[in-house]
Amino acid sequence: MSTENLTWHDAFVTREVRETLLTQKSKLLWFTGLSGSGKSTVANSLDKRLNESGKATYILDGDNIRLGINSDLGFSIEDRSENIRRIGEIGKLFVDAGIITLASFISPLKVDRARVRMALGIDFIEIFVDCPLGVCEKRDPKNLYKKARLGVIKEFTGISSPYEKPDNPEIVINTKQQSLDECVDKILDYLKIGI
């Protein structure tokens, strides 16, 4: 698709005006990690804590996005890349709206996360939810690892498709070693300087 005849239109109400109204700085908090690592659990607990402190937030969750706007995508490397690209664009719009946005996606490839980081710059905060594969498999809340091991699910991250750990995430939490509250507190400690 050609974009040569398209022009970005700036709104009269700017991001800065929205942030002033909301009394916060918007950011995109990008949770990445294996399935079952605790991304959604930590993101939801953080969302609750931020909301209780008066912050305007929204969670973009992998399954929810794939049930809607990205329902046309499969799980090939190309489709996963497009999934992350679209989510990055959605996240960028939410940040422009002044919202603290929590994105919870496996996002297995460094290049895809780097593209979102490039689009958002300092507003992108990568949170690596570190958890050993064996622990994720034991948790397996959706029985996905079991299905992948049986060959029912093809191209499953961590089993038959790669997961590339972040090199320099802003925040690393380990859901095997840290409690849920400790994980959320670590993120909140980091965010105190910027939101």
Task: Give the residue numbers marked as catalytic.
Answer: 107
CA 81 to each of CA 59, 74, 84, 175: distance values in angstroms, whole numbers, following the listed order: 20, 10, 5, 26
**Which residue shows structure tokens 């698709």?**
1
CB 56 within 8 Å of CB 24:
yes
What value does the CA radius of gyration of the chain take, rounded to a whole number of Å?
Answer: 17
Q: Give CA 110 to chain center in angstroms.
A: 13
CB 42 within 8 Å of CB 183:
yes
- Three-state DSSP state, 52: helix
**Which residue shows structure tokens 């507190």?**
185
Report the C-alpha gap between 137 and 24 in whole angstroms: 38
